[in-house]
Structure 1
């Protein structure tokens, strides 16, 4: 009888997977992301032999600075596109996001014109051309984020999936082509910028259809009202994203300062390799889960069961690969990418401690926005930036590069666990679930 029940439960799970729109949408996005990551990973052994750790150090510094600015380029009104029930209101929010992108990009250009030397020193830039590419990157990233949010809103998951493939193919192809001509860090930066542009053009095709039918409905009075209604996004979410991006970019910048550009390049390369398989799941899940959670919230459904299932599923998915990389990452890196990347493999074995819990942290970040916990997220981001900076500075002044990366990773892992628990407790309180018995019953129903 027990075996029969197990078979029946397995059959029900298979049926649910087949019929679940959430799973279907996620698989659509994952298919494109998977292809993009496979292409990128397959070509990385070639790219790693065409560029040096110093090249990746400069590229990493450029990404760190552009990432900080781009983190707040839409003032996070792009995330608010998902929240209005009416499509007309969502279109007005998208318009606000585009205006914010233009303003921030102009401010970035002004800063580069006024303090070019300072900006070049931060990025370890080999020439002023980097400043022009920085402004262009910020502008393209802002529009890309906005268009992607709109595609998720209208469930155009095939187009978002295709954009990932376009970005990966164009970026890796240009890196190989420019690498053969010994362009160094210039080739890495230009390839990245143009790849983002091509991916954005693909997303723009989806938006253009809606623009032609909705442009006449743009209402300036309603735009001002919506900008006020979602003012917590620029105040807390955008600020929090900038702080988080700063704490993510600090390792490359501070490692370059304390240990040299080669060490910073090894760190940037290790993070790039480990982020690739994570991106396979997270890019797809970010789009589909945010849409699913927002829809569930609109209909008064339970978010807690979805939160627990997805978080636990991500942890289960990451355990075995994380253990393998923690033990054998140096040998794997040296074998696949060449002996000059051995130190990158050593960094990777430590970074996996942090990245595993960051991987599991995605649902808490998305659900915090739906719960409008922007203020709490902002405060948490400040604390996270402070402890990460302390870890890097103390390590840089008194320890080796490897132990500094290890300390940074452990601190990041602990902070991610704390945030996962905090959001879970808020959801429990919101839905009146106070005991483990209530949670077990809710999970069984879900």
Structure 2
């Protein structure tokens, strides 16, 4: 085992600039995740599962609306060879972010009463006015982050993530003891993206002044026309993708008064921690490097090495968390949260597949297969909503579990298609991960041991 792990650590993949960049981002993410991990057991005791249900709806609605808010022009920022073209995309993205937020604000104002007649959990309605602010800050942060990724400014992104999480947790703690407690979780979440915009904006101040004088409406329109597939197809793709993940959470929270969505919210946050530590960092670095790799006919091998590195680094910890969660969750986060640990076990296959495919799914856009990416996401939306409604009518006690199962099915299909277009052999990939490497097996055995110990202790 020592020889196998040692040879992997000394491999060309881990000595590459790609991994050094991932390491910088992952370091900042680790710091922010550590802050979140240490704070979460206290936050779950300050706020109830019902409070987390309201947060789940807010996060879901903001995520659904903010992902396509820039018409996906933000996603195209790393692709142009010329910086002036990329900056035109950044400027267009920030303008679209503001206009989208204004449109959402008008929609909230006009539709609040109508929504009230369909929503069972009325507590959610009080905070709809925060949605357009969240859409603006989150989509603007996305655009700024893609520009920073293009410039390989991964250290600034990493430092910003730690500042963001500290601000988010600090707001949630401070407001827990005030008359604003009901909004504490929401304002803390909003503070994350708001502080991120301010931080990255301050880092970009010099570049903004340098490039802004070269941007005009005509030049921006030329660049947007060149990347018109992104507004035309990727906007709907991203909307379908975010809706497939988040809309079931909204449905579960709004048609029931119970804390089911709160359990799902906490389970998702816990599983997102090991995913976010590596996955989001790899995704950003992969997108910044993939266009060059494609132009040099190395995208297939680059994707294969990325997937193998991802699997060895992150699949094991996800499996470990999935195994031990049912036994320890109630003791770590409070007795009222025990069911969230059971849901984590159900969600593990989903998150393992999502962890692998999400960073390399940008290859659809690099290869110009934007329409195919859109069709896959629409399939995922239909699949997941369909399974939720079937469970709601026939086995209502298992709605959350059906949501987890639908995620596993969708991401398996998504992973298969991603490997196909990148010409990566799935069979060879799975053999490398599960039969030629002891790392994942060791994590699984450690998880089983941890579950046994937790059962003996409690």
TM-score under structure 2 length normalisation: 0.87
Using the TM superposition, give the Cα deviation of residue 338 of structure 1 relative to its aligned residue in structure 2, in angstroms: 0.8
Match of 1:165 in 2: 162
Match of 2:207 in 1: 210
- For 1:18 and 1:267, the matched residues in 2 are separated by 35
1:283 aligns with 2:296: no
- For 2:193 and 2:122, the matched residues in 1 are separated by 20
SS at match of 1:163: helix
Match of 2:31 in 1: 35
Match of 2:371 in 1: 375
Q: Structure 1 277/217 Cα, relative in aligned 2: closer, same or farther at 3 Å?
A: same
Using the TM superposition, give the Cα deviation of residue 157 of structure 1 relative to its aligned residue in structure 2, in angstroms: 0.7
1:23 aligns with 2:6: no
1:385 aligns with 2:381: yes
Match of 2:311 in 1: 315
Which of 397, 417, 438 lines up with 2:412 in the alignment? 417
CA contact (8 A) 2:121 2:256 kept: no
Q: Structure 1 319/283 Cα, relative in aligned 2: closer, same or farther at 3 Å?
A: closer
Using the TM superposition, give the Cα deviation of residue 428 of structure 1 relative to its aligned residue in structure 2, in angstroms: 2.4
- For 2:197 and 2:255, the matched residues in 1 are separated by 37
- For 1:268 and 1:10, the matched residues in 2 are separated by 38
SS at match of 2:87: helix
Report the aligned-residue RMSD. Answer: 2.7
Match of 1:85 in 2: 81
Q: Structure 1 127/256 Cα, relative in aligned 2: closer, same or farther at 3 Å?
A: closer
Give 1:22-421 correspondences, 5 Å limit. 22-119=18-115, 124=121, 126=123, 130-181=127-178, 183-298=180-295, 300-401=296-397, 403-421=398-416
Using the TM superposition, give the Cα deviation of residue 17 of structure 1 relative to its aligned residue in structure 2, in angstroms: 6.3
Pick which of 362-371 and 333-342 moved more: 362-371
- For 1:127 and 1:323, the matched residues in 2 are separated by 34
Q: Structure 1 187/11 Cα, relative in aligned 2: closer, same or farther at 3 Å?
A: closer
- For 1:207 and 1:277, the matched residues in 2 are separated by 29
Using the TM superposition, give the Cα deviation of residue 224 of structure 1 relative to its aligned residue in structure 2, in angstroms: 1.0
Using the TM superposition, give the Cα deviation of residue 119 of structure 1 relative to its aligned residue in structure 2, in angstroms: 4.8
Using the TM superposition, give the Cα deviation of residue 219 of structure 1 relative to its aligned residue in structure 2, in angstroms: 2.8
TM-score under structure 1 length normalisation: 0.89
Using the TM superposition, give the Cα deviation of residue 40 of structure 1 relative to its aligned residue in structure 2, in angstroms: 0.3
- For 1:280 and 1:13, the matched residues in 2 are separated by 18
Using the TM superposition, give the Cα deviation of residue 316 of structure 1 relative to its aligned residue in structure 2, in angstroms: 3.4
Q: Which runs of 5+ in 2 are unaligned?
A: 433-458
- For 1:307 and 1:127, the matched residues in 2 are separated by 42
Match of 2:446 in 1: none
Could you report, residue by residue, the CA deviation over 1:91-126 in whole angstroms, capped at 9, with x for unpaired residues? Answer: 111111112112211111111121122456659463
Match of 1:443 in 2: none
CA contact (8 A) 1:395 1:404 kept: yes
SS at match of 1:271: helix
CA contact (8 A) 2:149 2:284 kept: yes
Using the TM superposition, give the Cα deviation of residue 75 of structure 1 relative to its aligned residue in structure 2, in angstroms: 0.7
Q: Structure 1 318/311 Cα, relative in aligned 2: closer, same or farther at 3 Å?
A: same
CA contact (8 A) 1:61 1:122 kept: no
Q: Structure 1 289/150 Cα, relative in aligned 2: closer, same or farther at 3 Å?
A: same
Paired residue total = 429
Could you report, residue by residue, the CA deviation over 1:214-239 in whole angstroms, capped at 9, with x for unpaired residues? Answer: 11111322211111111111121111
- For 1:127 and 1:334, the matched residues in 2 are separated by 26
CA contact (8 A) 1:88 1:217 kept: yes
CA contact (8 A) 2:293 2:302 kept: no
Could you report, residue by residue, the CA deviation over 1:231-263 in whole angstroms, capped at 9, with x for unpaired residues? Answer: 111121111111111111123222224543411
Pick which of 242-251 and 113-122 moved more: 113-122
- For 2:8 and 2:51, the matched residues in 1 are separated by 52
Using the TM superposition, give the Cα deviation of residue 90 of structure 1 relative to its aligned residue in structure 2, in angstroms: 0.7
Using the TM superposition, give the Cα deviation of residue 19 of structure 1 relative to its aligned residue in structure 2, in angstroms: 4.8
Q: Structure 1 65/155 Cα, relative in aligned 2: closer, same or farther at 3 Å?
A: same
Using the TM superposition, give the Cα deviation of residue 269 of structure 1 relative to its aligned residue in structure 2, in angstroms: 1.3
- For 1:252 and 1:12, the matched residues in 2 are separated by 39
CA contact (8 A) 2:24 2:154 kept: yes
Using the TM superposition, give the Cα deviation of residue 289 of structure 1 relative to its aligned residue in structure 2, in angstroms: 1.2
Q: Structure 1 269/302 Cα, relative in aligned 2: closer, same or farther at 3 Å?
A: same
Using the TM superposition, give the Cα deviation of residue 280 of structure 1 relative to its aligned residue in structure 2, in angstroms: 0.7
Using the TM superposition, give the Cα deviation of residue 395 of structure 1 relative to its aligned residue in structure 2, in angstroms: 1.0
CA contact (8 A) 1:171 1:195 kept: yes
Q: Structure 1 318/152 Cα, relative in aligned 2: closer, same or farther at 3 Å?
A: closer
- For 1:226 and 1:68, the matched residues in 2 are separated by 26
